[in-house]
């Protein structure tokens, strides 16, 4: 495991943060690289598959459960959040504050992407730069925009 070792970009003086709360769990595969400046907070469960790279200044908030597959490339300045940070009440009923995020194997997440609670991203998918992902993404597809929408299906990418 090579936490905070990817020197692709960013200010090398920028320190990252890895906070794992009591009873929380972080599981990583072999060859995981997390760059300088990343901030990772685990209150629940976070799993990162083998050979996945998380580039500078990305933030991951795993309050419930986040699973990131193997061979993924997560670009810089991304945010992956499985909860709302605050309770939201609509018409007197509290909404579900925390839903799992699943990112499949071989996914490419572009820079400045936000992935919100309850989203499943299928294997081999590409998320375009600056997208906000609020709904599931089919395998082998490209999505982009705010909110992210399907751009193309039946695609592959070479890491």
pLDDT tens-place string over residues 4-57? 444 444 555 667 888 899 999 999 999 999 998 999 999 999 999 999 999 999
Number of domains in the chain: 1
Measured CA distances, 34 to 12, 40, 59, 127 (Å): 13, 10, 11, 19
72: containing domain: 2-153
Tell me, what CATH number does 115's domain have? 2.160.10.10
Angle at 54 between CA 83 and CA 151, to 5 degrees: 75
Could you tell me if residue 56 is inside a domain? yes
Could you tell me if residue 6 is inside a domain? yes
- Return the exposure string of 5-44: e unless at least 16 CB atoms fall within 10 Å of the residue's CB, then b: ebeeebeeeeebeeeeeeeeeeebbeebbbbbbbebbbbb
> pLDDT class for 86, splitting at 50, 70, 90?
confident
pTM assigned to the model = 0.89
Could you tell me if residue 107 is inside a domain? yes
Output 6 or 154, whichever has higher pLDDT: 154
Between CA 50 and CA 2 the distance in angstroms is 11
91-118 residue pLDDT tens: 988 777 899 999 999 999 999 999 999 9
> DSSP class of residue 28?
E
Could you tell me if residue 158 is inside a domain? no
């Amino acid at each position: 495991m090579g936490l905070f070792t990817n020197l692709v970009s960013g200010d090398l003086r920028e320190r990252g943060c890895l906070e794992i709360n009591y009873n929380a769990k972080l599981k990583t595969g072999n060859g995981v690289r997390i760059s300088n400046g990343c901030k990772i907070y685990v209150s629940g469960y976070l799993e990162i598959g083998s050979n996945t790279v998380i580039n500078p200044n990305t933030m991951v908030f795993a309050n419930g459960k986040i699973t990131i597959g193997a061979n993924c490339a997560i670009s810089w300045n991304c945010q992956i959040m499985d909860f709302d940070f605050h309770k939201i009440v609509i018409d007197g009923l509290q909404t579900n504050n925390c839903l799992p995020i699943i990112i499949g194997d071989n996914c490419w997440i572009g820079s400045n992407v936000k992935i919100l609670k309850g989203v499943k991203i299928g294997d081999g998918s590409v998320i375009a730069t600056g997208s906000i992902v609020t709904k599931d993404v089919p395998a082998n597809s490209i999505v982009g925009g705010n909110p992210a929408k399907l751009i193309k299906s039946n695609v592959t990418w070479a890491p």
